[in-house]
Structure 1
């Protein structure tokens, strides 16, 4: 079974949560939820000793397990957080990863695209020699890895390839697997003082390890509802905006909301940054109005197809740039 964020954090505070937790999905929401879990488990003054963070892409499982087995310096729980957990990939996921890589690339999320390429190389068992010897003119195997025809994606394919080549990929340091060791740890049980937090953006829910955590009520999926084009739906973005403003005791007029989405687009991090600016700008005002958006929100240019889709559904979309006062 799945569990929602509020229920999970409440169970953690009550000491009733599983000792292993998986949080995955939209990056911004995953990071915020993991920080909420950290806040619920480890007081700020104890985090130098009772909190350890690892990058699952590079950390050796032996190092992680040693941390889990080592008692905390202070009384209370010890939280071990593995970011970019690599234990939930499978070869069946290859096609989906290739699509996600180019989705990130088209949206300007170069680092996210690069990290998924890294994951895919390891998943397919590429050696350092294979990668180092690859050139643009002989990149057919790289295109096959992504599940695409390199000719159909020019220049995106060439740009992605060049970017990945410009970054240092050390396949010797990248850790794969670990799922068997983690499964063995679940069978054995964690020490009473330990809580293991796993976070990831990409998870294959068909893996045996995922199903084990799901059955434990230890898997939390954070994602916005998407339309047929794969973009966050208008309704889910409305809910995102309303929820964030509610945290500050504010609401938003419908016209102001549409102006905000048209200018900020559908990237959650960009949208969150603009909301933070708005909250500061409106001050004591309980409601965000169109003139507030007009004055402070940067027009990043919502994707044309997104704007057209909204207009087709009868949504008033105002995309004029802010007037200078």
Structure 2
């Protein structure tokens, strides 16, 4: 099950007796657990009928006993069970011993007045386990992973709808280019834009350009674009903006190098006939970052990219050994990379 499928079910007042929220996108896990709690319990009820347990400190059998206890002056109760590593293939060692049979028995016939939310901030669960198979039948298993580009746009549109604000498509695209897939950062930017515009006024691309905060990851792509377009002024200006935010030149260099290596990797795989979905599986990077790299690979030759990687490596070594002042070294690097882009 996906994040959006659960949101749709909650809107239709369809609530599962048990949820397992797992994956490496912490923001989506936190957002979903809050939405489920808000749907099940009104604000005044949460003080009495919302219980939180850490399964690294509390055995599951104790949590199940609480689940089977009737709500206090209410019709429903929610159990939030954090660090649910008992769904992993190799659970981490903890100071408590879990009696999984008590959970298996509960899942066969969960009570109708309790909603259990298991939070497992891990990339995978072991689908061979009996409790995982039962979860698929009786509950809702929700994988919370970084959204792909289409999902990211849908997520932004959902937030805008909740804020009752309209945003131009070009403005949404620019926001994604500037911020990337950092969901928390996107939400903060949208909240900022919504406070800026007047009633029923749309968020335009000019507003985004004026207000959006520079993020180091997207800014490195901006510098890559400047190198691609042989625009030294824009490359230096972007670097200076990041320096004003106290970004460390060595860290920026490492990120810049990772972007160039990603572009090179995409170009090599594309040359071997790999499709975008195949690259997503092969490369350990966010699908949106791979898309950004694919959009740029055609502007560089393989030889240019290898030379750029070599120059970046040498500059990194010079910075770390203190052979040259860091800011000067980065600016000289940008000049060198743009020179490499020029036709021989």
Coarse TM-score class (shorter-chain normalised): 0.5 to 0.7
Give the structure 2 partner of residue 19 of structure 1.
Answer: 17
Q: Secondary structure at 1:287's aligned position in 2?
A: coil
Describe the superposition over 1:192-250 as per-residue Cα deviations: whole angstroms up to 9, x where unpaired. Answer: 4322222223241513222211122522334445xxxxxxx333322222222122233
Which structure's CA Rg is the greater one? 2
Q: Does the CA contact (< 8 Å) of 2:61 and 2:103 recur in 1?
A: no
1:214 to 123, 136, 139: 136
Describe the superposition over 1:53-80 as per-residue Cα deviations: whole angstroms up to 9, x where unpaired. Answer: 1223332324313322322211301211
Give the structure 2 partner of residue 63 of structure 1.
Answer: 62
More helix by share: 2
Please tell me the root mean square deviation across aligned C-alpha atoms, in Å.
2.9
User: For 1:87 and 1:297, how far apart are their aligned partners in 2?
Assistant: 42
Alignment of 1:228-307 (within 5 A): 233-303=148-218, 304=221, 305=259, 306=289, 307=292
Structure with higher RCO (Cα < 8 A, 6+ apart): 1
Give the structure 2 partner of residue 157 of structure 1.
Answer: none
Aligned length: 225
Q: Does the CA contact (< 8 Å) of 2:49 and 2:71 recur in 1?
A: yes
Give the structure 2 partner of residue 5 of structure 1.
Answer: 6
Give the structure 2 partner of residue 199 of structure 1.
Answer: 119
Q: Does the CA contact (< 8 Å) of 2:17 and 2:139 recur in 1?
A: no
Q: Does the CA contact (< 8 Å) of 1:20 and 1:218 recur in 2?
A: yes
TM-score by length of 1: 0.60
User: For 1:312 and 1:240, how far apart are their aligned partners in 2?
Assistant: 28
Change (3 A) 1:18 1:259: closer
4+ residue runs over 6 A deviation: none
Unaligned residue ranges in structure 2 (runs of 5+):
222-258, 260-288, 300-344
Unaligned residue ranges in structure 1 (runs of 5+):
92-118, 126-170, 226-232, 315-325
User: For 1:261 and 1:214, how far apart are their aligned partners in 2?
Assistant: 34
Q: Does the CA contact (< 8 Å) of 1:19 and 1:195 recur in 2?
A: yes
Change (3 A) 1:273 1:309: farther
Give the structure 2 partner of residue 77 of structure 1.
Answer: 76
What is the deviation of 1:258? 3.0
User: For 2:85 and 2:206, how far apart are their aligned partners in 1?
Assistant: 46
2:104 to 183, 196, 199: 183
Alignment of 1:138-153 (within 5 A): none
Q: Secondary structure at 1:284's aligned position in 2?
A: coil
Give the structure 1 partner of residue 309 of structure 2.
Answer: none
User: For 1:273 and 1:183, how far apart are their aligned partners in 2?
Assistant: 41
TM-score by length of 2: 0.57
Give the structure 2 partner of residue 138 of structure 1.
Answer: none
